[in-house]
Amino acid sequence: MKRRKALSTMAILIGGAMVSTETFFSSCKSDVKEAVFTKEDISLLDEIGETIIPATASSPGAKAAKIGEFMKVYVTDCYDAASQQTFFEAITRVKNLSEKKYGIGFLNLTIAERRDVLNELGKGKPATVVNKVKPVAGSGDAIQTGKEPQAKSKLKDVPNHYFSMLKELTLLGYFTSEPGATKALRYTQTPGYYKGDVPYVKGDKAWAT
C-alpha cells in the first residue's frame, strides 16, 4: 500500500469511522507508524497520560516520560488491528467528549475538566482495578528463577475498554521510563547483593524491577 493511501485510510479511521483495519494493518504494517500518529495526537496522549499520572512534589509525571511517544511505538508495534482500533476510538472519544461537554479541545481543559472527561470515557464498563487482588502465577521457569510475575503481556490481556486501555498504557510506559523507574520508584540495575529482609516504612517506594 502506498503511503498516501495509508494516510487517507488512517484519516478516516481517526475520524471515528468504523472501518475494518484488518486488511490495512496486515498488508502494510511498516507504513503505520508514520501514518497514524500526528503531532497533535502525541500531545493529546501526553496530556491524557499526565492526567492519569500527574507530576507531583516527589516525581515527574507521564508527560515527562514522553508517554505519547511511548504509546505511539507500543500501539503500532505490539497491538493487533482490533486493539489498535479500540485505541484510536478512545482518542476520538476523548476529543468528542471534550467538545460535547465543554465546547473546547482536551488540551484547553482544566485538570478537573480533564478528569471529568476521562471519567466519562470510563463509564459503561467498570474500571479495572489496577492492583488485581488475584495475583498472576507467571510461567514455571519464571518462578523457578525468582522472577516476580511481571506477566509477559499477551494480546488477550489488552483491555478492550477505552479508559482502561489508556490507563494501562500510561502505567506501563511511565513505570518503565527513566523518570518513572528512578524517581517515582526505586531502581538499580546492579543491586550488588540480595537481602531477604529490609525494614519497610509506609510510604517507601517500591522497586521498579
Partner 1 sequence: MGNINSKGINQNTYDAIVIGSGISGGWAAKELCEKGLKTLVLERGRNVKHLVDYPTMAKDPWDFPHRNDLTLKMKEDNPIVSKCYAFREDAMHFFVKDKEHPYVQQKPFDWIRGYQVGGKSLIWARQTQRWSKYDFEGPARDGFAVDWPIRYEDIAPWYSHVEKFVGISGNKDGLDTLPDGEFLPPWEMNQAEKMLQKRIMGNYKDRNVIIGRCAHLTQPKEIHLQQNRGKCEARNLCQRGCPFGGYFSSNSSTLPWAAKTGNLTVQPDSVVHSIIYDGKKNKATGVRVIDAHSKKITEYFAKIVFVNAAALNTNLILLNSVSTRFPNGLGNDNGLLGKYVAFQNYRGTLSANIDGFLDSYYYGRRPCAVMMPNFRNVHKQETDFLRGYMVFFSAYRSRGHFAGAEQMGEAFKEAQTQPGNWHVSMMMQGETIPKETNQVSLSKDQKDQWGMPLLSISVDYDDNDEKSLKDFLTQGAEMLEKSGCKNINTNDSKQAPGLDIHEVGGVRMGKDPKTSLLNKWNQLHACPNVFITDGACMTSTGTQNPSITFMALTARAANYAVEELKKGNL
Q: Which of 76, 68, 75 is nearest to 29 (CA)?
A: 76
4 binds partner 1 (CB under 8 A): no
Cβ proximity to partner 1: between 19 and 143 the closer is 143
Q: Which string of b and e fits 17-36 if b means at least 16 CB within 10 Å?
A: eeeebeebbeebeebbeebb
- Interface residues for partner 1 in 24-53 (CB under 8 A)? 29, 51-53
- Interface residues for partner 1 in 126-155 (CB under 8 A)? 127, 129-131, 133-149, 152-153, 155
Give the span between the Cα atoms of 188 and 137, in whole angstroms: 25
Cβ proximity to partner 1: between 4 and 204 the closer is 204
Closest separation in Å from C-beta 41 to partner 1: 18
Closest separation in Å from C-beta 106 to partner 1: 14
Non-local (6+) Cβ contacts of 71 within 8 A are: 45, 49, 87, 169, 173
Tell me the three state secondary structure of residue 186: strand
Give the span between the Cα atoms of 76 and 84, in whole angstroms: 7
Stretch near partner 1 under the rule CB under 8 A, chosen from 1-9, 92-100, 102-110, 124-132? 124-132
Site size with partner 1, rule: CB under 8 A: 77
Give the span between the Cα atoms of 101 and 67, in whole angstroms: 25
Closest separation in Å from C-beta 46 to partner 1: 14
Cβ proximity to partner 1: between 87 and 175 the closer is 175
Tell me the three state secondary structure of residue 172: helix
Joined grid coordinates for residue 205: 517506594
54 binds partner 1 (CB under 8 A): yes
101 binds partner 1 (CB under 8 A): no
Closest separation in Å from C-beta 82 to partner 1: 11
Cβ proximity to partner 1: between 8 and 143 the closer is 143
In this structure, the chain runs to a length of: 209
